Amino acid sequence: MAYQTLLFDIDDTLLNFQAAEKQALEGLFKELKLPLTSATYDFYHAENLALWQQFELGKISKPKLLVKRFAALFDRLGIHDIDGQKMEERYRFYLGQGHEPMPQAPEVLSDLSTDYDLYVVTNGVAKTQKKRLAAAHFDHYFKNVFISELVGAQKPSRAFFQRVTADISDYQPAQTIVIGDSLTSDIKGAASFGLDSVWYNPTHQSNQTGIKPTYEIDQLEKLEQIVE
């Protein structure tokens, strides 16, 4: 099947979010003159992931999520007089500097943008995501960047994809495909809206969910064969 409209996730699909997250936490802890142990990082990573999954399900707002993760982290460290909002702002400053591309992302975007219509679909924080895309020199590849807080709904909800596709000229469902690393966000959202999907799974995680992608790849360059 020939595709024309490609909807890309950002984090851990085009840009290495794991690296950016660690770099940002290291920057924050250095500023606070606190040691960042691997156990502390692992706790934050797990807490953050769980909160974003709650956000996907509509169980927590994004502003509450962003502050709650730091309240939980510093509570665990026995530090109770930390301003969670201030920690979020300082962390976001460092996170905005993280724009390491995922392997093959620059080449694949360059190739695909000549023949296909590329869009971003992300749940991340708008200001940070735009800054990271620009710093990676990826922003010019996309016809539009759809960010949940600006769209007014989040992946994987049908409302998110309804609003996104309403803003795509000449939208054809059969020619549209979603590319992302998250089964519960990107792939579930695509499936619930009747769109094909590509699960980018470079670390060969086992799929323990009932969510089935149309395709699965472990290298971004394999996307080019799928969309032809």
On whether the 5-16+100-227 domain is CATH 3.40.50.1000, my answer is yes
pLDDT value, residue 1: 58
Report the mean per-residue pLDDT for the chain.
96
Tens-place pLDDT, residues 78-121: 998 888 899 999 999 999 999 999 999 999 999 999 999 999 99
| Mean pLDDT (whole number) for 54-71 | 93
> CATH for 17-95?
1.10.150.240
Segment 26-30 shows an average pLDDT of 97
Q: Where are the domains of the chain?
A: 5-16+100-227, 17-95
- Catalytic hit among 9, 12, 117, 181: 9
Does 9 qualify as catalytic in the annotation?
yes
Residues 6 or more apart whose Cβ sits within 8 Å of residue 147: 120, 122, 123, 124, 125, 126, 129, 130
44-57 tens-digit pLDDT = 999 999 999 999 99
Whole-number Å distance between alpha carbons of 153 and 170: 22
CA distances from 37 to 29, 51, 92 (A): 10, 21, 20
Whether 168 has a pLDDT exceeding 80, the answer reads: yes
Q: Percent of the chain scored above 70 by pLDDT?
A: 100
Contact 220, 10 (CB under 8 A): no
Q: Distances in Å between the alpha carbon of 28 and those of 39, 56, 126?
A: 16, 26, 20
**162-176: buried (b, 16+ CB within 10 Å) or exposed (e) per residue?**
ebbbeebeeeeeebb
- The pLDDT tens digits of the residues spanning 8-26 come to 999 999 999 999 999 999 9
